[in-house]
Amino acid sequence: MSERREFFRRVAAAAVGAEPPPPDPWLERYSRQLVLPEWSEAAQRALGDASVLVVGAGALGSPVATYLAGAGVGRLGIVDDGDVELSNLHRQHLHFTPDVGVPKAHSAAAKLGFLNPDVVIEPYPASFTAAMVDGQDLVVDCTDSFEARYAVNAACCAAGVALVEAGVIGTSGLVMAILPGETACYRCAFPQAPPPGATPTCAQAGVLGPAAGVVGSLQALEALKLLAGLPGVLTDAFLQIDLAAHDFLRVAVRRRDDCPDCAGA
Amino acid sequence: MLDVTDLTCPMTWVRTKLELERIAPGEALEVRCREGEALENVPRSAAEAGHDVQVTGAVVRIVRR
């Protein structure tokens, strides 16, 4: 089939004269970000040299990993110990109906490999451990509980690895970028988890797919800013997002001297 | 001399922009463009980016800011 297609392509090319040289695939793939005034070849190369760990391949992890892979991050680790469930599909766009029952890390890695074969995708179908943070340039926390976010925050603070936190529930969300030792961490902003039962979990409250898409996209954008060295990173603050009312509120946060996670960072 | 006559927008500007990133401020880059869209857009994009631009025929001379 491909031989026939090649034959007809040559016939067509001969009919219209010499073909233009093929475009450089690297330039072409990243052209719409390279063309931006704030982007550069150096920014693109920095992205290509970066290792990023995405913790959670669900509602936030789907847009985060999709945009980071598409943008050309060199190495992308995907951590998730769950399997794809039918109830995930409305908001976790890296997983499709035939993936139900497949480990999310593998399901996500397969799609990301199709999206951008330049990216080294490393699926980890396992629970997050602090050791996974070692050697990463950036961690993006796409988990869905306070305990999990505290664990990722503590690991990143201990290892001095930049982090982008986020959470989403219903039609609300939150995004925060963290440079351990320099800017306020997640625990500086939220020293204590709400008492059990005070906040609904994702499973109890539900999430509208596009809300997770918005929050995850903001998270991916902060990650790209950090990786490319762009200004305007959302540090020492979090963005509180209420999509029912179309409210975006930037809340300033200060480092806490007594923060158990980052005071020693 | 950078020749972008076989490219279309925005690749014409992408190639030009990347070449400009490789030269020092004050240095000049000459870009040969195809008549029409490229010869209109490359100088305009260069000027918008703050560079000094001079067009002679189909050649755009850009001095990096």
For A144-196, the pLDDT digits (tens) are 999 999 999 999 999 999 999 999 999 999 999 999 999 999 999 999 988 87
Residue of B nearest to A36 (CA): B14
Q: Taking residues A31-50, report their average pLDDT.
A: 96
Contact flag B10-A31 (C-beta cutoff 8 Å)? yes
Check if the beta carbon of residue A50 is closer than 8 Å to that of residue A137: yes
What's the domain range around A242?
47-252
Check if the beta carbon of residue A254 is closer than 8 Å to that of residue A237: no
Res A12 pLDDT > 70: no
Contact flag A35-B13 (C-beta cutoff 8 Å)? yes
Q: Does A2 map to a domain?
A: no
Q: Taking residues A242-255, report their average pLDDT.
A: 98
Q: How many domains does chain A have?
A: 1
Question: Domain containing A228 — which CATH number?
Answer: 3.40.50.720
Q: Does A173 map to a domain?
A: yes
Query: Using a CB-CB distance cutoff of 8 angstroms, which residues of chain A are in contact with residue B21?
Result: 40-42
pTM of the predicted model as reported, rounded to 2 decimal places:
0.89
DSSP 3-state of A188: helix
Render pLDDT for A192-214 as a digit per residue (tens, 0 to 9). 988 877 776 665 679 999 999 99
- Output the CA torsion A54→A60→A62→A66 (10° steps): -70
Res B26 pLDDT > 80: yes
A36 to chain B, any CB pair closer than 8 A? The answer is no
Q: Does A265 map to a domain?
A: no
User: What pLDDT, on the 0 to 100 scale, is given for residue A197?
Assistant: 74
Res A17 pLDDT > 50: no
Q: Does A262 map to a domain?
A: no
Residue of A nearest to B11 (CA): A31
Could you say which of A20, A31, A42 has the minimum Cβ distance to residue B14?
A: A31
Question: Domain containing B43 — which CATH number?
Answer: 3.30.110.40
Please report the ipTM that was assigned to this predicted complex.
0.89
Q: How many domains does chain B have?
A: 1
Min Cα distance A224 → chain B (Å) is 19
B23 to chain A, any CB pair closer than 8 A? The answer is no
